[in-house]
């Protein structure tokens, strides 16, 4: 269970820094959320957000555009609930 939580938090930390210009305009709202609330949300809510952002990135790329993600994802220890909250 802890491993799954760490993996979710690592992915949230990585996708928090998604450039809005690497998403289609209709998907940019996914980055306009209160990350403090996301950090306080359930793992299910975070997984839902992750799936939506990853789907939006895939939609952008399916149109032949490149969506650069941060080169190095944050380590699970660097992405704690508190890091998402700030």
Query: Mean pLDDT throughout 5-11?
Result: 89
pLDDT digits (tens, 9 = 90+) for 11-45: 998 998 899 998 999 999 999 988 888 888 998 99
**Residue 1 in this model has a pLDDT that exceeds 60:** yes
What is the reported pTM?
0.70
Q: Give yes or no for a contact between 17 and 57, defined as CB atoms under 8 angstroms apart.
A: no
- Residue 54 sits in which domain range? 2-85
Q: Give yes or no for a contact between 58 and 5, defined as CB atoms under 8 angstroms apart.
A: no
Instruction: Please give the torsion angle defined by the CA atoms of residues 40, 27, 13 and 54, in that order, rounded to the nearest 10 degrees.
Output: 110
Structure letter (DSSP) for residue 1: -
Structure letter (DSSP) for residue 29: G
Instruction: Please give the torsion angle defined by the CA atoms of residues 77, 79, 80 and 84, in that order, rounded to the nearest 10 degrees.
Output: 170
- Please state the domain count of the chain: 1
């Amino acid at each position: 269970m802890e491993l799954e939580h760490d993996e979710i938090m690592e992915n949230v930390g990585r996708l928090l820094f998604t450039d809005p210009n690497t998403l289609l305009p209709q998907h940019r709202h996914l980055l306009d959320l209160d990350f403090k609330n996301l950090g306080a949300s359930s793992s299910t809510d975070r997984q839902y957000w992750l799936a939506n952002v990853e789907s939006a990135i895939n939609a952008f790329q399916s149109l032949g555009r490149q969506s650069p993600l941060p080169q190095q994802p944050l380590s699970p220890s660097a992405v704690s609930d508190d890091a998402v909250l700030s």
